[in-house]
Amino acid sequence: MQIGNDLIEAYKGFYEDELNIFGAAKAKETGLSAETHIDLKVQLMIKSHTPKERLDTYLQWNGILGWTNRIWELSQGEL
């Protein structure tokens, strides 16, 4: 699955504090950079989330608050 850069950016921004803590801890354990661990974690998060969760994260990061459910309903063919 090819993940769009804009979705990756949204996840990194939305989960920034959590990812920085995770990346720093993993960097100490493995010697690899924190950014490498963050990149891998973001990819795993995106793949493990449902499409609706991905949409919610993307919309919130882009300042579109409170519309996830309605946009999701429309995307699923609900009127």
- For the chain, give the number of residues: 79
pLDDT, tens digit (0-9, with 9 covering 90-100), for 50-63: 999 999 999 999 99
Looking at the predicted structure, is the pLDDT value of residue 45 above 90? yes
Q: Residue 33 and residue 45: Cα distance in Å, rounded?
A: 19
Query: Residues of the chain with pLDDT > 70: what percent?
Result: 100
pLDDT, tens digit (0-9, with 9 covering 90-100), for 60-76: 999 999 999 999 999 99
Q: Compute the mean pLDDT over every residue in the chain, rounded to the nearest whole number.
A: 96
Q: Residue 79 and residue 31: Cα distance in Å, rounded?
A: 52
Q: Residue 67 and residue 53: Cα distance in Å, rounded?
A: 13
Q: Residue 43 and residue 21: Cα distance in Å, rounded?
A: 17
Name the DSSP class of 77: T
The pLDDT score that the predictor gives to residue 1 is 72
